[in-house]
Amino acid sequence: MNHVRSVTILGATGSVGRSTLDLIGRQRDAFEVAALTAGRDVAGLAELARRLRPRTAVIADPALYDDLKNALSGSGIEAAAGDQAVVEAAGAGADWTMAAIVGTAGLKPVMRALEGGGTVALANKEALVSAGDVMTAAARAEGATLLPVDSEHNAIFQCFDHARPESVRRIILTASGGPFRTCGLDAMRSVTPAEAVAHPNWSMGAKISVDSATLMNKGLELIEAFHLFPLPAEAFEVVVHPQSVIHSLVEYVDGSVLAQLGAPDMRIPIAYTLAWPERMETPCERLDLVKTGLLSFEEPDLERFPALGLAKAALREGGAKPAILNAANEIAVASFLESRIGFLDIAAVASETLARYDPPAPASIDEVLEIDRQARGIAAGITGKFTN
């Protein structure tokens, strides 16, 4: 990179945020940290702020402002708190923003970052699942660059001919299959939260690990991919690839298929977005194809993993359906993690919520958030029917 790049990390204390800061810490001369935000982890945020010296550190929970201010006392770093302060940090004009706030809490900060016209590295799934049309319209209007951080979308981005999208026939996202890839339906009925969180390949939080186990995560990624790459909905497919070495594939009209391979380490796609359009060194394990050996592929089983089918249907219908699916799934997964519903009930709750609620397509972030609120209320009522 030819100049020092200013960066803001939204969700600095989560796994993606910490991985980003690990990479930045290895090339401190290339980056200036403008702002760091976190939800409630004051100690983690203060430790990162003292080490990386941002101008501002923001905690989303306003009740924790005094704790953060005290933790940063004497550092010269400005402390702030509250949702609006997070939004303001997102719009502070950084060259590059990592959008890694989990859930719909990240929607307004992502929108503000896009409105600033800079580069936004997107790790917040809800931004495109729930508000894809709104977000991409904002990016186009402001000339912002949207770079995908998810390993699958990042792989597609690296293989996709952006100058000639008409030359692409289809996009294939790979799924590990999760911990229950070979389990029968009877066994899946008795799955515990601890079993669902134990992902075979990736180290992730509880919610996304459960989404991977149901294949909902892959369904949501299909919706994201649709908003990132200019192809029709039917051009996006999923294949199960248990080794998680090939992260996604792009097939061209001439029959050529390009794939991006790498070790299952999120620092690889993060580094790609951090240095883009150049590349940077990472400490990640290098892929040894001989050691890896077999690469295998399977069709996803929609009977055992109906969440993927629900996501495909929501993508086809469009409008508010993806936002409803996302909201209902979050409620259902939370109920499962609290052992209030069964593993197979997660998709059932989402399905019934989609059937009950059919509002018009949202035209703004506020409308997206209202759809999200309504869908969560409906899903919460439905979960009571499935309570263990």
Instruction: Say which CATH number the domain at 9 has.
Output: 3.40.50.720
Residues 12 and 117 in one domain: yes
Cis omega (within 30 of 0) for bond into 277:
yes
Question: Helix count (H) and strand count (E) of the chain?
Answer: 17, 11
Place of tokens 């999200």: 372
Confidence band of 2 (pLDDT split at 50, 70, 90): low
What's the CA dihedral at 380, 83, 46, 22 to 10 degrees?
A: 80
Task: Give the pLDDT of residue 320.
Answer: 97
Q: Which residue, of 286, 317, 348, is where some domain finishes?
A: 317
Residues 182 and 145 in one domain: no
Task: Give the pLDDT of residue 387.
Answer: 66
Task: Give the pLDDT of residue 201.
Answer: 55
* Edge-to-edge order in the sheet of strand 236-240: 236-240, 168-175, 246-252, 257-261
The answer to whether residue 176 is domain-embedded is yes
Task: Give the pLDDT of residue 170.
Answer: 97
Q: Which residue, of 288, 317, 346, is where some domain finishes?
A: 317
The answer to whether residue 236 is domain-embedded is yes
Residues 165 and 293 in one domain: yes
61: CB partners within 8 A, 6+ apart: 39, 40, 81
Buried b / exposed e along 29-47 (16+ C-beta atoms within 10 A): ebbbbbbbbbbebbebbbe
Which letter does DSSP use for residue 78 in this model?
Answer: E
At residue 275, what is the residue type?
A
Task: Give the pLDDT of residue 249.
Answer: 97
Q: Quote the domain boundaries for residue 93.
A: 5-149
Q: Would the pLDDT of 37 be above 80? A: yes
Residues 205 and 309 in one domain: yes
pLDDT digit string, tens, across residues 50-76: 999 999 999 999 999 999 999 999 999
Q: Which residue has the higher pLDDT, 354 or 191?
A: 354
Residues 198 and 297 in one domain: yes
Q: Which residue has the higher pLDDT, 208 or 59?
A: 59
Q: Which residue has the higher pLDDT, 125 or 111?
A: 111
The answer to whether residue 328 is domain-embedded is no
Task: Give the pLDDT of residue 202.
Answer: 55
Residues 77 and 55 in one domain: yes
The residues that bridge with 35 in the sheet, in sequence order, are 8, 56
Residues 34 and 130 in one domain: yes
The answer to whether residue 191 is domain-embedded is yes
Residues 312 and 173 in one domain: yes
Which segment of 5-14, 45-54, 287-296 scores lowest on mean pLDDT?
287-296
Task: Give the pLDDT of residue 208.
Answer: 82
Residues 145 and 158 in one domain: no
The answer to whether residue 307 is domain-embedded is yes
pLDDT digit string, tens, across residues 285-318: 999 999 988 999 999 999 999 999 999 999 999 9
Mean pLDDT of the chain: 93
Task: Give the pLDDT of residue 51.
Answer: 94
CA distances 283 to 15, 31, 151, 278, Å, are 16, 18, 17, 17
* Nearest CA-CA partner of 120 in 109, 133, 104: 109
**Sign, Cα dihedral of 44, 45, 47, 51:** positive
Task: Give the pLDDT of residue 67.
Answer: 96
Residues 107 and 179 in one domain: no
For the record, the structure tokens of 242 come out as: 């248990």
Residues 61 and 11 in one domain: yes
The answer to whether residue 339 is domain-embedded is no
Question: What mean pLDDT comes out for the span 33-37?
Answer: 96
What's the total number of domains in the chain? 2
Task: Give the pLDDT of residue 199.
Answer: 61
Q: Which residue, of 317, 335, 366, is where some domain finishes?
A: 317
The answer to whether residue 64 is domain-embedded is yes
What angle in degrees, to the nearest 10, is found between the helix axes of 125-142 and 365-386?
170
186: CB partners within 8 A, 6+ apart: none
Q: Is the distance from CB of 9 to CB of 98 less than 8 angstroms? A: yes
Residues 57 and 188 in one domain: no
Task: Give the pLDDT of residue 198.
Answer: 78
The answer to whether residue 95 is domain-embedded is yes
Q: Which residue has the higher pLDDT, 283 or 206?
A: 283
CA distances 350 to 6, 87, 117, 289, 297, Å, are 40, 30, 35, 39, 28
- CA–CA dist 56, 72 (Å, integer): 10
